[in-house]
Structure 1
Amino acid sequence: MKKLNQTELLDQRIAELTLQHNQELVELKQQFHAVKYSMSPTNIVQEGLNGFYQTFINKENLMSTILSIIGGYVSKKVVIGKSDSSIKKIIGNVLQFIVTSYLTKKNTKTQTEL
């Protein structure tokens, strides 16, 4: 009699796991379709254009970003100049990144205070 009870429990557990498996499969398919849609070339281009449009609308933010990039580039050229040394180029790139980041943070902080 006990064997029959264990068999019934095993059948019940198999049915539960099958149901769970089917539900997870449906969720996985939905996630796959969502990722497939978001990674489509048209969607990527559309999101990029929307981001560019939003940046273009906020001209103050665009101007501060451009000034930060120019500031970093100029600081690199002033400190390093025209050098063929790989180490100097790496140091120049790091300096450019640091100056650009600093100017961006400073401009963002200044804009939020206004």
Structure 2
Amino acid sequence: MDCFCEQDDTCHLKVEGDVGADPIWCDRCGHNFELEEFPITNELKIELMEWATKYGEWIDWDLDKLIPNGVEMEEKHNKQGDYLTEKVKRELKGKYKIRFSTSTMGRSYQNK
């Protein structure tokens, strides 16, 4: 799996939601991988993409503020992301070190 790291190959991955991006990244250089590059089931790829497209639904982007129940929505999103990360780990069977990167964006909007 090529990325921008010095060795041009990574074994350290993170599952992380972001607007308009696939949900798997190099945990070292931050390269965003195409989900199709991974030997995981199509079912899991679909689950990951559906999860990723919901990233940030707790923010009213036009008003730049947290929507009602936004923190709870973000917590639910993080729980699902953690669950999906465990599924990715099982399917990749130890080929990579994989962690989940929780979203804290809602909490930062809460403190505005």
TM-score (norm 1): 0.33
**Structure number having the greater strand percentage:** 2
* Higher Cα radius of gyration: 1
**Structure number having the greater helix percentage:** 1
